[in-house]
């Protein structure tokens, strides 16, 4: 039962980001009209791609690779025993997917100058901004777990001595 509850909490966390992004975007449509929003994202698609989404995509891929390349360490094995390794793995993959989708949407917007593409890019951009906070929160979560692991390991070593 706890397994199902844990999965539902993780699913809710992903859905909450999408819902928040949707609410923020709906609010923006109450403040500006469709053409203004589309025009903004069409005009800024080049700079948003190079200055935000591409950097976050590269950073998330680099962190994912570092996380996964250390999957044979005692710490990663401990995470797996605690049933959180896969949760963090999927969290980092989700961040990569969001940043890839946003980057692709902005590239399409940049080349087509299409209003619908601009609107889609805008929604994905808002989701990406929200996802940045989750991405860093997950990194901090891993760091905290690493501290707990090291304290427990050091405590066990001291007991043996």
DSSP class per residue in 56-122: HHHHHHHHHHHHHHTTTSHHHHHHHHTT-HHHHHHHHHHHHHHHHHHHHHHHHHHHH--HHHHHHHH
Residue 153 CA to residue 74 CA, distance in Å, equals 10
Residue 100 CA to residue 102 CA, distance in Å, equals 5
Q: What is the domain partition of the chain in residue ranges?
A: 2-155
Q: What is the pLDDT of residue 60?
A: 95
Q: What is the pLDDT of residue 42?
A: 95
The two tokens of residue 35 are 């053409």
Q: What is the pLDDT of residue 59?
A: 94
- pLDDT < 70: residue spans in the chain: 1-6, 161
Residue 123 CA to residue 108 CA, distance in Å, equals 14
Q: What is the pLDDT of residue 29?
A: 95
Residue 156 CA to residue 145 CA, distance in Å, equals 16
Residues in the chain: 161
């Amino acid at each position: 039962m706890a397994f199902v509850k844990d999965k539902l909490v993780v699913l809710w966390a992903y859905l909450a980001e999408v819902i928040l992004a949707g609410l923020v975007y709906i609010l923006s449509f109450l403040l500006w009209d469709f053409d203004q929003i589309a025009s903004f994202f069409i005009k800024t698609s080049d700079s948003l791609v190079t200055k935000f989404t591409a950097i976050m995509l590269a950073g998330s891929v680099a962190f994912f690779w570092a996380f996964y390349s250390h999957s044979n360490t005692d710490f990663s094995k401990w995470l797996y025993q605690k049933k959180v390794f896969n949760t963090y793995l999927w969290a980092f993959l989700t961040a990569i997917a969001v940043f890839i989708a946003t980057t692709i949407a902005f590239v399409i917007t940049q080349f087509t100058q299409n209003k619908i593409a601009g609107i889609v890019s805008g929604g994905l951009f808002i989701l990406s901004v929200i996802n940045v906070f989750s991405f860093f929160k997950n990194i901090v979560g891993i760091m905290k777990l690493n501290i707990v692991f090291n304290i427990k390991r050091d405590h066990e070593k001291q007991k043996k001595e």
